[in-house]
Amino acid sequence: MADWIPAIVATVLFVVLTPGLLFQVPGNNNFVDFGKMETSGYSILLHSFIYFGLVAVFTVVIQFPGT
């Protein structure tokens, strides 16, 4: 089961950081929009950088068992 921890963390982060699902930075109307289900190219780019940074921190720095 320890081998699946990085995949589960990456999947949860991908779902949570999908632009427009829970929140969107930058939003269309405000800096942060919640639950609008709309997105922009800049928002996708920003969320992908945040996703990459968090996955790198969780898998490389924290050293999950099995990685």
pLDDT tens digits along 13-52: 888 888 877 878 887 778 888 877 778 888 888 888 888 8
pTM: 0.70
Q: Are 43 and 20 in contact (CB under 8 A)?
A: yes
| 17 in Cβ contact with 49 (< 8 Å) | no
Q: From CA 2, how far away is CA 32, in angstroms rounded?
A: 35
What one-character DSSP code corresponds to residue 25?
Answer: S
Length of the chain: 67
